[in-house]
Structure 1
Amino acid sequence: MVYEKVKQTVFQNNLIEEGDGIVIGLSGGPDSVCLTHLLKEISKDININLYAVHLNHKIRGIDAYLDALYVMKLCEKLDVPCFIRAVDVPKYCKDEGLGLEDGARELRYKIFDEVKTRVGANKIAVGHNKNDQAETVLMRLMRGTGIHGLKGMEYKRQDGVIRPILDLRRDEIEKYCIDNNLNPRIDSTNLEAIYSRNKVRLKIIPYMKEEFNVNIVDTIVRMSNNIKSDSDYIDSQVDKEYELCAEKKDEGVQISVKELEKIHYSIKSRIVIKAIKEILGDANHIEKKHIDDVLDLISEDKKHKKINLPRSLIAYRLADIILISDKILKEENLEYEYSLEPGESIYIKEIGKTFHTNILNAKEFNREFKKGVQYIDLDKISGKLTLRSRRQGDKIKLLGGTKKIKELFIALKIDRDDRQYIPLVVNQDVVVAVCGYRLNSDYKIDENTEKILEFTLK
């Protein structure tokens, strides 16, 4: 029955195909021993090549060497090639600043990948079971995970990791080992409530079984499968929206702000995650607060800002896009110039802002100055008006005397990177206004003004 159940899992989820080379993580415990034996049985029905890999963590003294000896004898009996590596995991974890569980897991998969490459295999099989799935979901729940975390472990990952016995309960695995006289090794540390997973396994789940639901493992996994179905649908919508609003470039992934604004938060947060995965390959160590920081860049007042993310990523808010990149952008000085007719509006594409103008009658002007809005005497304009970027040597006449634009920016404490995004209103070669900041004193309105040019930058 167990064999048929696993075959159903394998073929329903397309875990194994003809000609696959499969590296098996074989610790010597019940789960991995059951997995190895079952895959050997499956290999009689379908042409696959199996390779077992065992890591001696150097944590359990003589027991660890006995585990390795057991693995060697089992592989010899099953006629499965076996690779054994001994690594001082506690030392590795100390050197790398990792916890024992995380460090051991990282080392295992690193060795699995090495053997996979060496033998030309294309998949890695690990012995996670239904109980492990329930424990994983509970642990993620306690860490405050989202819907993606609650769907639990996948039957297969994009990197080739497969979980053929994910539908087996632990008691089914133990019975299978007894029925087939496999005599797996028992890791005594699994019986001690010293690690987070062990505490969930030995304390929380037994308590939930006794006090609430004897079938709690099946219930949690059923919930996880339902969530997975919903999550997969959401991911399909993310893929559609991503095609519309995101594009991979040499410098990173560009996301259209205009398109992003239209999308529900649930989708756009996943678009950011997908962009990060496209750059790094995964989104490890990227938390909700980092995603929210990126989405805050949508706001107009965040233009030309940037934020630092984990793993050397940077999110830039440019004119009409958010760029997520692992590169430090060296922004070139922007150069632009537009002819300006009083009363018209101009979109300055280089900085993603619109310059609005309006002609007012001085007699009707109530002199209630608005924030961000500037006024000049239109009658004092002679000849051509232009709207352009700052140039070397530009000056403006103020009440206290003439000042270089560069010195004005320094005095106003305007960041060097932001200065190129501030346009100048120029009459012939004379700077009339620094948009949003200062007016040339010769062009200010007075008691003789008849026509006023009102302007603002948005």
Structure 2
Amino acid sequence: MKQKILEYNEEYQLFQPGDTLYLAVSGGPDSLSMLHFFASIQSSWNLTLYTVTVDHQLRGEASSQDALYVKQLSEQWGIPCRIGQVDVERYKKEHQVGTQVAARELRYQFFEQQLQDHAKLVLAHHQDDVVETMVMQFLKGVRPKGIPNKRAFKNCELIRPFLCLTKEDIKHYLDKHHVIPKIDPSNEEDTYTRNRVRKYLIPLLKEENPRLNESLVKLQSLFDEESDFLDQKAEQAFSNLIQLERGSAVFSISEFIALDTPLQRRVFHLILNYLYENHTLQKDYFDAFLEWMNSQIPNSKYEMPNGLTFLKAYDDCYVIRGHKEPRTYYKYLHLGEKIDLPNGWSIQASKANVTQLEDDARFFCDTHHISFPLIVRTRQNGDRIKPKGMNGHKKVKDIFIDHKIPKHLRDEWPVVTDQTGEILWIPYICKSHVSKDSGQEIIQITFDQ
């Protein structure tokens, strides 16, 4: 078994001499064999090892005794052990999830707290776990992904060097080295789907195909190759399509719809990964999201758990995190001053050079047309502006509509007025008739979004 692991590691470079490894050990056969294996190569590989184990408090005294047993063995083999104690029942009630999900999330939270930067978390998953996982994914109608042998984890890496082994390999190893594991009785309960798959379904499948492990591991490898290719394409599409800013995103609906469905699905999940950070959804929302995207309902929204909202605004889709009420403001702007607005934008007033060019982010006017301080505020009911080059006034509301400004942005968009309340400028959108040059001293108002 030892040689198998080292050859597998040689191929995939999961751990290196001199690494710091945190071994996630439950006390069961798989993780105890992993603990013993790494203890046996610690010196020759110059490894810094720690054991991390979690008492889930699900089996009373037996749970705590298992954790103490892991600590005893670990320290006996020269590896310091850290025990975490978590309240699974409380977490289940607070987050409305099942026992296994709660235990897993709490366990990984504890692991995150323990890891040092650039260390590696080591898990003892093996081939039989891959087979169980793939069969369960088939049953749920989910594209089988199996179990990766490494992935990013916090600022570190999570590795699974035992994926080259079967459960029989592990059993023989424990027997050979006289290591006695703890057996969690819940692993035999038919309450959990994984247990039923392992106890009843997989033995039937192996009757039809005795080399089931080998077949499914090979299938996973083929899936992984295709998935890696599509992931690269999705990363390119995400980079070209999505604009990210301050925990939000915006993209073109028509360009998203033009993508092939496999890329749409991956881009959707890349958006979620960016905005949800470490949160893991327990359900795939892509189908419902795509139905909403293809609907002809304008200016609608699609809400997801934990405060993530997709908003349609003409051909743009805005993605925002958290429920946000519009922030109104009313500020004075003096010459030579820069003010920051609540939405992160800023505006300033300064003397200008006559050679400077006007653009949508700058407003020029003569000093005799205005007096300071100016007023920078959000829109108000009945606001009207006399646009440059146009006779008469126009409603600000209609100007926002004409320029296709999304509804959720209109109530925070700045409006610049003089002291009488006359609107001089709506940045990026409309300049008033006051924007002109009669050759006198010029003032420049600059907007930064």
Instruction: Give the TM-score of the pair, scaled to structure 1.
Output: 0.67
Q: In 2, distance between residues paired with 1:39 and 1:231?
A: 32
Secondary structure in structure 1 of the residue aligned to 2:214: helix
Opposite residue 226 of structure 1, the aligned amino acid is L
Change (3 A) 1:262 1:88: closer
Q: Equivalent residue for 2:159?
A: 162
Change (3 A) 1:330 1:82: closer
Per-residue CA shift, 1:172-229, capped at 9, x if unaligned? Answer: 011111112212222232233231111111111112223x112223222221221111
Q: Select the residue among 180, 184, 196 that pairs with 1:183.
A: 180
Q: Select the residue among 238, 248, 254 that pairs with 2:234.
A: 238
Q: In 2, distance between residues paired with 1:228 and 1:252?
A: 30
Q: In 1, distance between residues paired with 2:75 and 2:118?
A: 20
How far 1:25 sits from its partner (Å)?
Answer: 1.1
Q: Equivalent residue for 1:203?
A: 200
How far 1:134 sits from its partner (Å)?
Answer: 0.9
Per-residue CA shift, 1:150-183, capped at 9, x if unaligned? Answer: 1211111211221111121100011111112212
Which range moves more in the overlay, 289-298 or 67-76? 289-298
Contact 1:294–1:315 (CA under 8 A) maintained in structure 2: no
Q: Equivalent residue for 2:319?
A: 324
Q: Equivalent residue for 2:70?
A: 71
Per-residue CA shift, 1:375-402, capped at 9, x if unaligned? Answer: xxxxxxxxx99999635899xxxxxxxx
Q: Select the residue among 204, 222, 240 that pairs with 1:226.
A: 222
Opposite residue 390 of structure 1, the aligned amino acid is K
Alignment of 1:313 onto 2:312 = no
Per-residue CA shift, 1:104-147, capped at 9, x if unaligned? Answer: 21221122222224xx662211111111111111112222213x
Change (3 A) 1:328 1:28: closer
Contact 1:316–1:322 (CA under 8 A) maintained in structure 2: yes
Opposite residue 198 of structure 2, the aligned amino acid is R
Alignment of 1:271 onto 2:267 = yes
Change (3 A) 1:35 1:102: same
How far 1:57 sits from its partner (Å)?
Answer: 2.6
Instruction: Give the TM-score of the pair, scaled to structure 2.
Output: 0.68
Per-residue CA shift, 1:37-83, capped at 9, x if unaligned? Answer: 22223433433211111222333344334423432331123100011
Q: In 1, distance between residues paired with 2:265 and 2:123?
A: 31
How far 1:302 sits from its partner (Å)?
Answer: 3.7
Q: In 2, distance between residues paired with 1:268 and 1:86?
A: 41
Change (3 A) 1:138 1:389: farther
Contact 1:276–1:283 (CA under 8 A) maintained in structure 2: no
Q: In 2, distance between residues paired with 1:62 and 1:206?
A: 33
How far 1:255 sits from its partner (Å)?
Answer: 1.7
Opposite residue 21 of structure 1, the aligned amino acid is T
Q: In 2, distance between residues paired with 1:151 and 1:4?
A: 27
Change (3 A) 1:250 1:176: same
Change (3 A) 1:304 1:73: same
Q: Equivalent residue for 1:57?
A: 56
Q: Select the residue among 293, 301, 304 that pairs with 2:299.
A: 304
Q: Equivalent residue for 2:80?
A: 81
Q: Which is greater in Rg?
A: 1
Q: Equivalent residue for 1:427?
A: none
Alignment of 1:281 onto 2:277 = yes
Contact 2:55–2:63 (CA under 8 A) maintained in structure 1: yes
Q: Equivalent residue for 1:342?
A: none
Q: Equivalent residue for 1:140?
A: 137
Q: Equivalent residue for 1:29?
A: 28
For the aligned residues, what is the CA RMSD? 3.3
Structure 2, unmatched stretches of 5+, are 329-359, 361-388, 400-405, 411-449
Q: Equivalent residue for 1:377?
A: none
How far 1:20 sits from its partner (Å)?
Answer: 2.7
Q: In 2, distance between residues paired with 1:278 and 1:50?
A: 32
Change (3 A) 1:33 1:309: same
Change (3 A) 1:320 1:98: closer
Contact 2:307–2:323 (CA under 8 A) maintained in structure 1: no
Structure 1, unmatched stretches of 5+, are 334-348, 350-383, 395-415, 421-458
How far 1:95 sits from its partner (Å)?
Answer: 4.9
Q: In 1, distance between residues paired with 2:398 and 2:231?
A: 53
Q: In 2, distance between residues paired with 1:388 and 1:331?
A: 26
Change (3 A) 1:175 1:297: same
Q: In 2, distance between residues paired with 1:37 and 1:61?
A: 27
Secondary structure in structure 1 of the residue aligned to 2:130: helix
Contact 1:286–1:310 (CA under 8 A) maintained in structure 2: no
Contact 1:57–1:89 (CA under 8 A) maintained in structure 2: yes
Change (3 A) 1:74 1:267: same
Opposite residue 164 of structure 1, the aligned amino acid is P
Change (3 A) 1:58 1:273: closer
Contact 1:290–1:309 (CA under 8 A) maintained in structure 2: no
Opposite residue 123 of structure 1, the aligned amino acid is K
How far 1:248 sits from its partner (Å)?
Answer: 1.1
